[in-house]
Amino acid sequence: MAKVAFIGLGVMGYPMAGHLKTKGGHDVTVYNRTTAKAENWVKQFGGAHALTPADAAKDADFVFTCVGNDDDLRAVTIGAEGVFSSMKPGAVLIDNTTASADVARELYAFARDKGCGFIDAPVSGGQAGAENGVLTVMCGGDEAVFAAAKPVIEAFARMIGLMGPAGSGQLAKMVNQICIAGVVQGLAEAVHFGKSAGLDIEKVVEVISKGAAGSWQMENRHKTMNAGKYDFGFAVDWMRKDLGIVLNEAKNNGASLPVTALVDQFYADVQKLGGNRWDTSSLLARLEK
């Protein structure tokens, strides 16, 4: 059992912290900007909550962060009441935020100067994956620190891999989002085409999903897409944030991402339809407007 702090109890962080307590058996202290949510977490899982990130991280062996973006991450780590102001030497910060590779490298250097470890560890699997404890975790950092952190991360993951040095986890998450963007747009066009042609989408998918066209998105989203229901997963606002990170990184490394850039604009169209909180499969909605 380790002493663990978890900073950020959103739709992902709340169940992830819960698995650290119930499945991992760790001594967990949580922090959330909305104190009521932290209090509810303690009522549900036990443990304790703190009023600042620094208070949560004091004496912790492992500190997890899962917040919104680079600025939020800096605020809860290197800010005046951030976790680095109280982390003990040898403690490890594991960041599950989907953020830039630049901020990951920045925090790695900050942690090293403080005598602490750092792993950038963005996750994939969505809210359902977090609730079921079966997330995929892409990590960047030093091998020894990763080896120490992996048994703790396993409480909410089914796949954990070290992708390379600091920042590599975030870069791998960008690869993940590029793949998803293309696949969802292809599925949206396929469903739209099939319906326009008068086909029974359920019958078509039953057949083609067993062949080369099959995908997680097809298996898990075609029914809701066909029904015009888009409240079953990762929100469009979050996807646009992630694709913004991807496209900015592509400018830095020279990668050409024409399809990703186009799909990002398609998601902007969905936002104009009022679909900010619809799930990413709502690309179909802009084709059927």
Residues catalogued as catalytic: 173
User: C-alpha angle with apex 91: 89 to 95, nearest 5 degrees?
Assistant: 135
Helix, strand or coil for residue 198?
A: coil
Structure token digits, residue 35: 């104190």
Structure token digits, residue 229: 């229901």
Choose among 58, 67, 47: nearest CA to 7: 67
Choose among 98, 20, 33: nearest CA to 60: 20
Structure token digits, residue 135: 């997330």
Overall residue count recorded for the chain in this entry: 289
Query: What residue has token string 């307590």?
Result: 21
- How far lies 98's CA from each of 48, 124, 146, 266, in Å? 26, 9, 18, 21
What is the spatial distance between Cα 156 and Cα 237, in angstroms, rounded to a whole number? Answer: 24
Structure token digits, residue 179: 């793949």
Residue by residue, DSSP assigns 241-288 as: HHHHHHHHHHHHHT---HHHHHHHHHHHHHHHTT-TTSBGGGHHHHH-
What are the two backbone dihedrals, phi and then psi, of residue 161, each rounded to the nearest 5 degrees? -140, 145
Please tell me what DSSP assigns to residue 156: G
